[in-house]
Chains A and B, each alone.
Chain A
Amino acid sequence: DQQVKQNSPSLSVQEGRISILNCDYTNSMFDYFLWYKKYPAEGPTFLISISSIKDKNEDGRFTVFLNKSAKHLSLHIVPSQPGDSAVYFCAASGYNNAGNMLTFGGGTRLMVKP
């Protein structure tokens, strides 16, 4: 039972355009949602988070939107840059079947073309 899902395994975007990465979840008890960025052969690095009581959080070129009624969040990157090419994981914090911890989605590979 995957409680956090990223249905698009990959996304290709032209440099300068907007990248939109999507994530769906099933557990309404999650209290924070996070996005991580991962380069090959490196560990994921924290990018941005949003509390479940907010609907938007912005940090520079990165904005995360949360739609609680749809149990959906998205990460917008604008403008996209070639250095943004990486795998992006969404994650949710809160209680799941195993206890209070972070649950990850399967990741979306973003490719930004120059």
Chain B
Amino acid sequence: ETGVTQTPRHLVMGMTNKKSLKCEQHLGHNAMYWYKQSAKKPLELMFVYNFKEQTENNSVPSRFSPECPNSSHLFLHLHTLQPEDSALYLCASSQDPGAGRFGYTFGSGTRLTVV
């Protein structure tokens, strides 16, 4: 499989649940990202990992917890979320954080609904 793969594609969870989003890239990239896209809002950068090290945490609430065990895998652990956290969560990767002419490669996203 090639590109950036995200699972699950859809997730419905209660506010007291704990769940995880998974992202995997087969492009040999060194940097991975989590973005959030809410309805009628711009893409919001959440976390950046470069060579497995977190280099950016864009003031994200602690109920979102990222994990990057290696350069190919990225997780977003979710717990005690709020309904306003319902959104499309996108994973992306790039050769390095300086995106250059090729930018980032995005996955298809996980549509999260918090009930």
Enumerate chain A interface residues (CB-CB to B < 8 A): 31-32, 34, 36, 41-46, 49, 51, 89, 91, 93-94, 98-102, 104-107
Contacts and interface: CB of A to CB of B under 8 A. Distances in A.
B43 A49 contact: no
A32 B4 contact: no
Given A41-B88, A93-B99, A98-B58, A104 B106 contact: no
A24 to B, nearest CB: 14
B100 A93 contact: yes
Contacts of B41: 106
A100 B33 CA distance: 13
B48 interface: yes
B101 A41 contact: no
- Interface-central residue, B6, B98, B105, by most chain A CB under 10 Å: B98
A9 to B, nearest CB: 8
Interface in B70-104: 88, 90-92, 94, 97-104
Nearest to B94: A102
B42 interface: yes
B27 to A, nearest CB: 12
B53 interface: no
B100 A31 contact: yes
Interface residues of B, number: 29
19 contacts: A32-B101, A32-B103, A34-B99, A42-B109, A43-B4, A43-B6, A43-B90, A43-B91, A43-B92, A43-B107, A49-B101, A49-B103, A93-B103, A94-B98, A100-B97, A101-B97, A102-B99, A104-B43, A106-B41
Given A43-B4, A43-B92, A43-B107, A89 B100 contact: no
A74 B78 CA distance: 38
Interface string B1-44: 00010100000000000000000000000000000000001110
